[in-house]
């Protein structure tokens, strides 16, 4: 059954416009979607709320994913405080979702691959009845049954506009798509598992690529993690990272990496350092990377 979301807005005591949704025809409660915001010349939504039962914790997934569950954890903390519901629609990506902030503007990027996986879940038609996976690509199906492709190897603009038609204003389609993602992540453990599995897969794939380029075999987990976090956020280049690693001390390499982007991103860098230190003190993050198996041992 395709869900029909009824949207309402309200202005709260501090002047923010908040949006809420309810599924028509069901007795399920109304839920918060997001607040309206303006960023530069763009308007959109953001949801940075943290709900206890909807926050990523490595301990919940270590049984399935082993050390990799811990390896991504610091990034989830600084990206979204680990919130499975983290949303923004106000920047150049048009639509960003999840605790790792998957962004819709990159062809074959993290959001596109994440969304493809979501559309394989049995309840996907309940949330996105118009979307289909055809030959591994996302398509839109109209009333007549004709399909049109929303993303390919060079562009996601049609997918971006499906999720969020413009950034000139907050629009009904944008609200509906946001409500779908928020409700789905809130109420379906499988959706959250896809977020986790995709995030870990992303960092595992990246470690293979980064190790080949930077020769990371034998480096401590914290050095490898910092490389991944820098490139995930985009606060540094491979050349800058290579320069930071050019030392005979792994600890010095880590400290060098921590200086990349510190002028603008000190809060994030301090956040990941603090979380890594906590994991080290717990005896969890004291592993080294083994390139031939793409594992930490």
pLDDT tens figures, 91-103: 999 999 999 999 9
Handedness of CA 216, 221, 222, 225 (dihedral sign): positive
Q: What is the pLDDT of residue 9?
A: 97
Task: Decide if pLDDT at 292 tops 90.
Answer: yes
Each residue's pLDDT tens digit, 126-142: 999 999 999 999 999 99
Half-sphere exposure of 91 (CA within 13 A, CB side): 11
Per-chain mean pLDDT for the chain: 97
The pLDDT tens digits for 201-252 are 999 999 999 999 999 999 999 999 999 999 999 999 999 999 999 999 999 9
Residue spans of beta strands (DSSP E) within the chain: 5-11, 17-23, 31-39, 42-47, 87-88, 96-97, 102-103, 131-134, 137-141, 147-149, 289-290, 295-296
Residue 1 has pLDDT above 90, yes or no: no
Q: What angle do CA 20, 21, 23 make, to 5 degrees?
A: 165
pLDDT at 153 (0 to 100): 98
Give residue 16's pLDDT: 95
Question: Over 90: is that where the pLDDT of 23 sits?
Answer: yes
């Amino acid at each position: 059954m395709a869900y029909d979301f009824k949207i309402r807005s309200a202005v709260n005591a501090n002047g923010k416009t908040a949006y809420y949704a309810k599924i028509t025809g069901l007795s399920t409660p109304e839920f918060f979607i997001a607040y309206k915001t303006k960023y530069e010349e763009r308007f959109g939504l953001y949801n940075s709320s943290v709900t206890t039962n909807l926050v990523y914790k490595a301990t919940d997934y270590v049984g399935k994913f082993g050390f990799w569950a811990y390896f991504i954890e610091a990034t989830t903390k600084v990206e979204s405080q680990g919130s499975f519901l983290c949303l923004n629609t106000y920047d150049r990506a048009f639509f960003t979702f999840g605790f790792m902030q998957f962004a819709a503007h990159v062809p074959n990027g993290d959001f596109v691959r994440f969304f493809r996986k979501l559309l394989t879940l049995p309840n996907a038609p309940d949330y996105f009845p118009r979307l289909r996976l055809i030959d591994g690509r996302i398509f839109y199906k109209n009333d007549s049954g004709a399909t049109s492709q929303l993303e390919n190897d060079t562009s996601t603009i049609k997918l971006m506009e499906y999720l969020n038609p413009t950034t000139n204003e907050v629009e009904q389609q944008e609200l509906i798509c946001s409500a779908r993602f928020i409700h789905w992540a809130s109420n379906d453990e499988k959706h959250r598992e896809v977020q986790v599995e995709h995030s870990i897969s992303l960092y595992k794939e990246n470690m293979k690529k980064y190790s080949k380029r930077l020769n990371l075999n034998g480096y401590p987990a914290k050095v490898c993690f910092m490389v991944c976090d820098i490139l995930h956020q985009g606060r540094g280049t491979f050349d800058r990272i290579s320069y930071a690693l050019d030392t005979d001390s792994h600890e010095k390499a880590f400290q060098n990496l921590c200086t990349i982007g510190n002028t603008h991103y000190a809060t994030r860098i301090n956040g990941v350092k603090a979380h890594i230190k906590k994991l080290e003190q717990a005896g969890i993050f004291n592993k080294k990377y083994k390139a031939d198996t793409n594992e930490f041992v």
